Amino acid sequence: MSSEGKLNIREFDLEGLKKILVGFDEPTYRAKQIHQWLWIKNVRSFSSMLNIPKALVTKLDEQYFIPSLDQIRVQLSADGTIKSGFKLYDSKIVEGVLIPQTKRMTACISSQVGCSLTCKFCATGRMKQMRNLTADEMYDQVMAINKQALEHNNRHLSNVVYMGMGEPLLNYKEVMRSIDMLMSKDGMGMSPRRITLSTAGIAKMIHKMGEDKVKFNLALSLHAANDKKRNEIMPINESNNLRVL
């Protein structure tokens, strides 16, 4: 919810949008149109939805908001890597990276503002964990980095890795929803084989991924081949050691 007390419209899936429209006594076919404006065309205001009647635009604007993700800084490396700072609607900052390679164009995105795991080798671990990102905030990082890929390399993204700020499995619901949107034909239409979630190792959530039969890739960040060393650099290992993993 925003400071104005409005609800984030992008937290609602297609069925949720239909329920909103029923409450407004509006035809539910508009839900598909609104969904496309939000996720494919990525608009930032209801007034930009050109095929939505003004009366409905007014109703939506009174009760809902479209969160913004603004690129506030860019660092371009000699190898073509682009590191970006993104300001969220509540002014918190996360980072995303475009990694261009000969056969791949990869976006590395964040899943949390800060992180609670305090891994010794990670700069984010020195920040306190402030909040989880919403699915739309993760999705929008990919959209923004895809735009960079086109502008700087004339190529679309081929891959997405959840390897930026935060531990994705500690934001399970929203991460899964963002991945669903990346794979959806109503989103970016990416193959699950092109998406990788990287985790420090939350065993029970890895089991849940198996139960949920996810189709994307999992990368496990070990950083040490024995528990003694891993305990020193990754406190999570004390409860999720190599044997458990």
Q: Are 174 and 56 members of one domain?
A: no
pLDDT tens across 138-162, in order? 999 999 999 999 999 999 999 999 9
Residue 30 included in any domain = yes
Q: Is the pLDDT of residue 16 over 80?
A: yes
Q: Are 29 and 138 members of one domain?
A: no
**Closest to 198 measured CA to CA, from 240, 224, 235, 164:** 164
Sign of CA dihedral 92, 233, 200, 208: negative
Among 65, 82, 98, residue at a domain's last position: 65
Q: Are 81 and 140 members of one domain?
A: yes
Q: Are 109 and 145 members of one domain?
A: yes
Q: Are 200 and 181 members of one domain?
A: yes
Please report, for residues 71, 93, 202, the alpha-carbon distance to residue 85 in angstroms, rounded to integers and kept in the order given.
6, 6, 27
Q: Are 11 and 51 members of one domain?
A: yes
Spell out a b/e string for 57-81, using b for 16 or more CB atoms within 10 Å of the CB, else e.
bebbeeebbbbebeeeeeeeeeeee
Phi, psi of 112 (to 5 degrees): -145, 160
CATH number where 22 lies: 1.10.150.530
CATH number where 228 lies: 3.20.20.70
| Average pLDDT of span 173-190 | 96
Residue 85 included in any domain = yes
pLDDT tens across 74-98, in order? 999 999 999 999 999 999 999 999 9
Sign of CA dihedral 193, 196, 199, 204: negative
Q: Are 85 and 51 members of one domain?
A: no
Q: Are 54 and 159 members of one domain?
A: no
Residue 2 included in any domain = no
Q: Are 48 and 150 members of one domain?
A: no
What residues make up the domain containing 195?
Answer: 70-238
Q: Is the pLDDT of residue 237 over 70?
A: no
**Residue 123, C-beta contacts closer than 8 angstroms, at least 6 positions apart:** none
Residue 130 included in any domain = yes
Q: What is the pTM of this model?
A: 0.89
Q: Are 57 and 85 members of one domain?
A: no
